[in-house]
Amino acid sequence: MSNNSYKTIVKTTGLIGFVQIFQMVFGLIRNKVLAIIVGTQGVGIWGLYKNYIDMATKISLLGLDQSGVRQIAQNAEQKEVVAKTIFILKYSILILSILFTALSFILSEQISEFIFETNKYTTGIKIVSFAILFHGISRGQYAILNGFRYIKELAISQIIGAIAGSLIAILCVYLFNIQGIAWYVLAIPLIAAITTGWFVKKMNIKVLIPTINEAKKELKQLLEIGLAFSIAGIVATIMTLLSRIFLTKYFDIETVGIYQASWTISNIYVGTILTAMGVDLMPRLMKVADNNFQIRKLINEQMELGMLIASIGVVGILIFSPIIMNVLYSSEFIAGTNIIRWQVLGVSLRVLAFPFSYAIMVRGKAIIYITIQAVFWIGEYFLLILFSNMFGFDGLGINYFIGYIAYFLMSLIACKYIYQFKFSALLKKIIGISYAFIGLAFLFSNIFPNAGSIILGIILLLAHAFWINYELKHKMNMNILKFIFEKIKKKK
């Protein structure tokens, strides 16, 4: 593999990666404050509100925000055409968002009964319903900035949104305690809509109203592209909400809070990496969409680099999960330590399956993509029920790991069928050694007492870090440790 290719992956994802880390830090601060003020019950309520809004937003958008990026990018040089595309995109999203916000507001009592099995959260549902509207507006504006490749402006808007949104959200919970959670949920999308709107306004995009026939044609194109892949997202958000409702009914709302916190911690590091890398991967795959050899090469490169960078985070979370849970949330949440350990094993497989998903999308295999996503999310839900009945609270998290084994295998089979994919020799080596470290970390964290597992874990983590640096230096011409030491010397 070309060393320049690995460097390109790292370089082009730098800004997005920085923004993701920035948002992650402020998200963790918000969660910490929420955990301290309202405890596991409050985090559980927040998790149910959030999962409901994620689902409603995903359904209301119909994938228009995703297809909008493609359409705007495609027509960016044709000012009149792109102006009409933006008009249709903005007003389609606005109308759909208003409609779903109104439905949610009107049916708030029934929604509260369905999610919480009580109508005491009716007012909260009414408040968070407006998050559907603001999410829709902000996602449409993100699509415009992204489509025109205004990455710097997009990054700044996300940073401002993270800071301002976090401050307002924290203030809501501080002033109103559990009653402020609904306002906490609303604050982030509200600020995001304002900040992205300000940057879009600065672009001075010409307003051109399309004819009815032009609007029909453009909307049809937007929906054809967006719907195919939004279905998978809708299934994911529905099943996530149903799993949280099941936990509320089978255990209690405190368990939902612990499970939500565990899921956040296990996914946050790898999720940040994959989001940043995804910005680079999709355009590169699109350029070689008809070349199986080049696509196989890109998939291997993404897996090799992704596994190296992500595996150390997986090992770190396995070793320090009790400390992380206590620091980022509170001692009430330490019961979720074992949930995190099982979930993070599943997350490690997500790193490997991630490039497969993009490759399937690039070739336009919508049915295969949707099927794999649907089988994973529906299967993971039923595995949650199965292991909860078999092992009770101790069974939580195993469902996620087993689900991702199936997800990885399905994605691998699909890419073997579409691209005749094969693992490179380097990737086989990286997977083998990475999972040796991950396996040892899992054993240490479960077998030895806390102090013993941490001491052994630190030794393991250092050995893992030096091995990763060796592979990056000798196989990819990147010396991470040298880069860090040079930065430290400069500061001194």
Query: How does residue 86 score in pLDDT terms, banded at 50, 70 and 90?
Result: confident
Model pLDDT for residues 391-405, shown as the tens digit of each residue = 999 999 999 999 999
Q: Specify the pLDDT at position 372.
A: 95
Model pLDDT for residues 241-260, shown as the tens digit of each residue = 999 999 999 999 899 989 98
Q: What is the mean pLDDT of residues 319-339?
A: 88
> Is residue 136 scored above 90 in pLDDT?
yes
Whole-number Å distance between alpha carbons of 21 and 15: 10
Whole-number Å distance between alpha carbons of 403 and 414: 17
Q: Specify the pLDDT at position 78.
A: 74
Supply the mean pLDDT for the chain: 86
Q: What percent of the chain has pLDDT over 70?
A: 91
Model pLDDT for residues 363-378, shown as the tens digit of each residue = 878 889 889 999 999 9
Query: How does residue 381 score in pLDDT terms, banded at 50, 70 and 90?
Result: very high
Model pLDDT for residues 153-187, shown as the tens digit of each residue = 878 888 888 899 889 999 999 999 999 999 999 99
Structure tokens that stand for 163 in this block? 């800071």
> Is residue 3 scored above 60 in pLDDT?
no
Q: Specify the pLDDT at position 11.
A: 58
Unique residue bearing structure tokens 């199986």: 292
Q: Specify the pLDDT at position 17.
A: 65
Buried b (16+ CB within 10 A) or exposed e, 284-321: bbeeeeeeeeebbbbbbbbbbbbbbbbbbbbbbbbbbb
Q: What pTM was estimated for this model as a whole?
A: 0.80
Q: What is the mean pLDDT of residues 307-325?
A: 91
Nearest to 357 by CA among 339, 334, 341, 374: 374
How would DSSP label each residue in 369-394? HHHHHHHHHHHHHHHHHHHHHHHGGG
